[in-house]
Chain A
Amino acid sequence: MKHITTVASSCIRKGEGIGCGECQASCQSACKTSCTVANQSCQNKGEKVYRPQGRKG
Chain B
Amino acid sequence: MVHAFSVDGRYFALDADSGAVHMLDEMGFDAVSAIEEKGWDAAREALMSKYGEKDTEELLEELKQVKEQGLLFSYDEDLHKDGFDLGKPTVLKAMCLHVAHDCNLRCRYCFAGTGAFHGQRLLMPLEVGQKAIDMLIARSGSRKYLELDFFGGEPMMNFGVVKALVAYGKERAAEKGKTIRFTLTTNAYALDEESIDFLNREMENVVLSIDGRKEVHDALRPTAEGTGSYDISLANAKKLAQRRGQQKYYVRGTFTRNNLDFAQDVMRLAEEGFEQISVEPVVLPASSPYSILEEHLPCILEEYDRLYRLYLDSRKNGRWFSFFHFVVDLDGGPCIKKRLSGCGAGSEYVAVTPDGEIFPCHQFVGREGFSMGSVLTGELDEEMRARFAANHVLAKEACSSCWARLYCTGGCAANAQAFNGRLDKPYSLECAMERKRLECAIAAYCEERETDDNI
Contact = CB atoms under 8 A, between A and B. Distances in A.
B349 A30 contact: no
B328 A28 contact: no
Nearest to B148: A28
Contact of A48 (B32, B143, B144, B455): B455
A31 B207 contact: yes
Interface string A18-57: 1101111111111111111111111101001111111111
A30 to B, nearest CB: 5
Contacts of B66: 1, 4, 6
| 3 A-B pairs closest in CB distance | A19-B337, A3-B28, A18-B335
Contacts of B107: none
Interface residues of B, number: 95
Nearest to A55: B320
Contacts, number: 231
Nearest to B413: A35
Given A6-B20, A7-B23, A29-B205, A19 B338 contact: yes
Interface string B277-292: 0101001000000000
A25 B348 CA distance: 8
A48 to B, nearest CB: 5
Contact of A26 (B280, B363, B409, B449): B409
Interface of A: 1-14, 18-19, 21-43, 45, 48-57
B101 interface: no
B365 to A, nearest CB: 12
Nearest to B14: A8
B454 interface: yes
Interface stretch (B55-63, B165-173, B366-374, B376-384): B55-63
B21 A6 contact: yes
B104 interface: no
B295 to A, nearest CB: 21
B155 interface: no
